[in-house]
Chain A
Amino acid sequence: MNKINFYLLEYAYSYILRHKNKNIFIVTVFTLLVALLATLFFVTSSLRYELKERIANQSDIIIQNYKAGMPAAIDVSVLDKLLEIEGVTAGKLEVQGKYYFRPKESTFYLLGVDAFEMQDDPVVAKLLEQYELSDSEMLVSKNVQDIMNQAYYKEYFNFIKPDGSLHKVSIKASFDVGERVELKNLIIMSKDTLREIFGYSADEGSDIALSVANKNELEFISSKIRLLLPNAKVTSKDDLLLEYEKLFDYDSGVFLSLFVIALFTFFIIIYDKANGLSSEEKREIGILKAIGWCVEDVLHAKFYEATLLSFFSFTLGLGIAFVYVFVFKAPLLGAIFTHENMLEIHNFQLNIHIELSYILLIFLLSVPVYIAATLIPSWRVATLDADEVMR
């Protein structure tokens, strides 16, 4: 079997065509199975990849202050205490938060920056290299600019402060976020301006971001901070990752996929078993043996037949899934996976990121199983006396 026998390959191909109806059914079921599973895996791996990318740009630990169970401003003096913890290498007081824009029912994400601070996010860092912001200026994303334009704010915007008064900030420039769709509602301005808008004092911020030397110590340091600040909410990168994993119900997705693959493969096998080989198919094997084919030759041809059929269906299924997920952006399914209605993580885009291990998993659970299901009944018939088979 080490050299491709094109005669047997052609024979196998003609056999598939000669049993069109049965094979169209098998190809349809097989393709649907692969397409469904590949779609699930493409969506989850693409989203997981994007999540990891997002988390990679975030600080190791974020501390938010809570008062009476509500988020509250955090004082810069807390930062000094935190920097004393062994393993914490750097920290900064951040000023950021959401701002609801009622005219267009949109939520903007406001980020306060300091020209002298290192920026974790490369997009923000690059913008600050390009533009120097004064206290009355801001940078807005193209999407924010469009929304503001629709509400006739073309050059500036009046933010409403907690006391009801207005704070005017001019639009210095707009920027493109590319594939970083989570930044599509971003507004960048100086920390002082944002403090003014949020009603914070000069020593206050929305949270504290810490950097940790040893990433394996994240949980340990987080627990130390929790002891130090009983009212604070401490979120490490690991916590975020875990939260996202739960959010995408990843484990359940994999379980569901395996269940579906098992069910469909089982269905194909049952179909083949229930039908077995028809008397016509058995007779054909008998003829082949009578004219000089051995069991190995029959199985060789059957192997080609099953391989052609399963590879065709597998490739077609993958192709359909690819187009559905990455070209059409997975209508219906994408929304389910991003929990669009439940959580505010809807700014996801399905960028092409495929984990080969998943494709291998789908392949292993479908193609070899189908090939085996084809070979076993043929082997049973081929090992009988040809005379008996043809009688």
Chain B
Amino acid sequence: MIKLKNVSKIYGKNIKALQDISLEFGEGELIVLKGVSGSGKSTILSLIAGLSKPTMGEVIVDGKKISKLPDHFAASYRRDNIGIVFQKYNLIPELSVEENVLLPLFPLNLPRELMRQKAKRVLEMFSIAHKSSLMVRNLSGGEQQRVAIARANINDPKIILADEPTANLDEKLSCEFIEILRELKSKNRTIVVATHDPLFFELDFVDRVINLEHGKLL
């Protein structure tokens, strides 16, 4: 489903984030990318999401060369296929929970009733519906994490990308997040988690742990 073929990514003049990486992830798999900061985990997520383009090599998702897509198609590819959970949640603090969750759909100009139904579904799925009208800045870290996951799932994406998802969560909230991942995997979502949190490495439902160091596979 996801294929990275001889991918290299160089930032600036000579910062080699990835060096000739080839990887393949199957549908419904849960992959953990393991490594210290700067090992290239987040860059892989960014390339799969089409947020940046590889310096060399190709990224192919469902047979489409993501790395070659122009902006407009890359955006609709992300909206329809990818849900991203960021380390710092990347929510807009002054918007309500519901507005944040629906933000990816704003450009589609869908009927209001359909938008409400979509928001209700994901907010209930991630147990945050009771806070839908609150501003995100008034929520706890764990609640903001749920909103970010709800937003990532608003369009039922096939692929979930999570970048250091538990870095700002305590142990209890981290366990809750893992349960959410288990549920998403049970729905046959392909999940790629970039983390250095050991909690993920021994999980029974993780299919593979990939070790990275200085932009190379170990």
Contacts and interface: CB of A to CB of B under 8 A. Distances in A.
Interface of A: 3, 5-8, 11, 14, 18, 283-284, 287-297, 300-301, 383, 385-388, 390
A297 B52 contact: no
Given A290-B78, A294-B76, A296-B72, A387 B106 contact: no
B138 to A, nearest CB: 15
Interface in B101-144: 102-107, 109, 115
A289 B103 CA distance: 11
26 contacts: A3-B109, A6-B109, A7-B115, A11-B99, A11-B106, A18-B94, A284-B92, A287-B90, A287-B92, A290-B86, A291-B79, A292-B75, A292-B79, A292-B80, A292-B104, A292-B155, A293-B104, A293-B106, A294-B75, A295-B72, A297-B106, A297-B107, A385-B51, A385-B53, A387-B52, A388-B52
Contact of A291 (B46, B84, B94, B99): B84
A267 to B, nearest CB: 28
Contacts of A294: 71-72, 74-76, 107
Nearest to B107: A297
B3 interface: no
Nearest to B96: A14
A293 B107 contact: yes
B95 interface: yes
B75 A5 contact: no
B76 A289 contact: no
A289 to B, nearest CB: 7
B41 interface: no
B20 to A, nearest CB: 20
A14 B95 CA distance: 8
A75 B72 CA distance: 86
A159 to B, nearest CB: 78
A383 B94 CA distance: 25
B51 A386 contact: yes
Given A287-B90, A295-B72, 12 more contacts: A5-B106, A7-B107, A8-B106, A283-B90, A290-B51, A292-B79, A293-B79, A294-B107, A297-B106, A297-B107, A385-B51, A388-B52
A289 B75 contact: yes
A290 B109 contact: no
Nearest to B161: A290
B95 A390 contact: no
B106 A295 contact: no
B151 A291 contact: yes
A7 B79 contact: no
Interface residues of B, number: 31
Contacts of B155: 292
A291 B95 contact: no
A224 to B, nearest CB: 72
Closest 10 CB pairs of A and B: A292-B79, A294-B75, A297-B107, A387-B52, A7-B106, A387-B51, A291-B104, A385-B52, A387-B46, A386-B51
B80 to A, nearest CB: 8
Interface in B59-106: 71-72, 74-76, 78-80, 82, 84, 86, 90, 92, 94-95, 99, 102-106
A378 to B, nearest CB: 14
A292 B155 CA distance: 11
Interface string B173-200: 0000000000000000000000000000
Contacts of A390: 90
Nearest to A284: B92
B78 A291 contact: yes
Given A290-B84, A388-B52, A295 B107 contact: no
Contacts of B86: 290
A290 B94 contact: no
B81 to A, nearest CB: 9
A230 to B, nearest CB: 79
Contacts of B94: 14, 18
A260 B15 CA distance: 50
Contacts of B95: 14
Contacts of A383: 71
A367 to B, nearest CB: 24
A210 to B, nearest CB: 69
Nearest to A6: B109
B31 interface: no
Contacts of B160: none
A364 B47 CA distance: 43
A288 B115 CA distance: 18
B18 interface: no
